[in-house]
Amino acid sequence: MLARQCNPAEVDDLLQDLYVKLSGVQTGPVSNPRAYLYQMANNLLHDHRRGRRRQQARDDHWARNRTGDDLERDAEPTPEESAIARDELERVNAVIALLPDRTAQILKMYRLDGVSQKAIANSFGLSLSAVEKHLQRAYRKLLLLREELDSAPQLSQTEADDVSFS
């Protein structure tokens, strides 16, 4: 197995697995037992390599999900990012609260509940065009908020690291 560039730490495990396989297999007469044994060992070595590659891929996938694709930072938001997201959500909810009741209801039904525009129109006794106009009004208000949020200056990570609270 060393000739096949097997990891020396795995040789004992591979030999044990080979023994278990040989003792459990029922075969007829083998014309060339040495070749049969070498082929089983070779197949077992390939199985171990495939398993090791799958395990490495699983571990890498898990690590990237936990730390992000760059493997440098945690994929979980920082407390600052969570606070900013909560603030933005509060601002979105405030804009929705300022909409006329029917417009806010239509927006929530369509975007959050997934109700079709036609079903909304039927439930409110409106035309499909009226539902679309209510959604357009709501989208305009939310777009203004988005532009406001996008234009707000935000600290880069290095600037945020330089801020001290003394």
Average pLDDT over every residue of 42-68:
85
Average pLDDT over every residue of 42-65:
87
pTM: 0.48
CATH number, span 79-151: 1.10.10.10
pLDDT of residue 22: 85
Q: Does residue 159 surpass a pLDDT of 60?
A: no
The C-alpha atoms of residue 97 and residue 155 are separated, in whole angstroms, by 29
CA 46, chain centre distance (Å): 31
- Alpha-carbon dihedral of residues 114, 118, 122, 124, nearest 10 degrees? 60
Average pLDDT over every residue of 132-138:
95
Domain ranges for the chain, please list them: 2-67, 79-151
Percent share of the chain, pLDDT over 70: 83
pLDDT in tens, 5-47: 677 778 888 888 888 888 888 878 888 989 988 898 889 888 9
Check: CB of residue 4 under 8 Å from CB of residue 42. Answer: yes
